[in-house]
Structure 1
Amino acid sequence: MTGTWYLVLSALLFTIGGVGLLVRRNPLVMFMCVELMLNAVNLTFVTFSRMLGDIGGQTVVFFVLVVAAVEVVVGLAIIVAIMRRRPGATADDIALLKG
């Protein structure tokens, strides 16, 4: 099986994540869309790594997953703190982040 289908799937997932990020205002949904976009890029890296027979793409994916895990911990903590303080908060409520 060629890598074309994986690249098409990756482009589709990235597009869905990008549209969701631009359209939705709920911070949690926006956060999930960013994660979907990161996974689409990871799929692209692994596909090209497999097609070219190089381990470099898979190494990059490992580091991207480590950074994504840290992003999930910090980002989700911030989102949960904001949602507890104001349950109907949207992405437009930037004033909540002032100290």
Structure 2
Amino acid sequence: MYGLITSRNMVRALMCLELILNAVNINFVTFSDFFDSRQLKGDIFSIFVIAIAAAEAAIGLAIVSAIYRNRKSTRINQSNLLNK
């Protein structure tokens, strides 16, 4: 969470977001096994989160590369996309 808030680089912020989603997946699997190991609800939900995170990473990196092509910078504080 700290890395996502304090990061000034867009790629680093996306990487920190992926780490947060992986931590959530570990919690889903652990608590699913801890409370009821016969049901696979947490395991299945973590697979959905992994799939959504992969799509989010692909779209996020595409947006970052488009911003870099236009602005020549991936710094968050330098990219004011509303004032063009």
Q: TM-score range by the shorter chain?
A: 0.7 to 0.9
Q: 1:49, 1:56 within 8 Å by CA — same for their partners in 2? A: yes
Letter in 2 for 1:45: F
Identity %: 42
Q: Alpha-carbon deviation of 1:85?
A: 2.5
Taking structure 1 as the reference length, the TM-score comes to 0.73
Task: Say if 2:27 is the partner of 1:44.
Answer: yes
Structure-1 residue corresponding to 2:81? 95
Q: 1:26, 1:90 within 8 Å by CA — same for their partners in 2? A: yes
CA distance in 2: counterparts of 1:23 and 1:40, whole angstroms: 19
C-alpha RMSD of matched pairs (Å): 1.8
The unaligned stretches of length 5 or more in structure 1 are 1-17
Q: 1:94 aligns to what SS in structure 2?
A: coil
Letter in 1 for 2:62: A
Per chain length, whose mean CA-contact separation is higher, i.e. which structure has more relative contact order (CA < 8 Å, sep 6+)? 2
Taking structure 2 as the reference length, the TM-score comes to 0.84
Task: Say if 2:10 is the partner of 1:24.
Answer: no
Structure-2 residue corresponding to 1:59? 44
The unaligned stretches of length 5 or more in structure 2 are none
Structure-1 residue corresponding to 2:64? 79
Q: How many residues matched?
A: 81
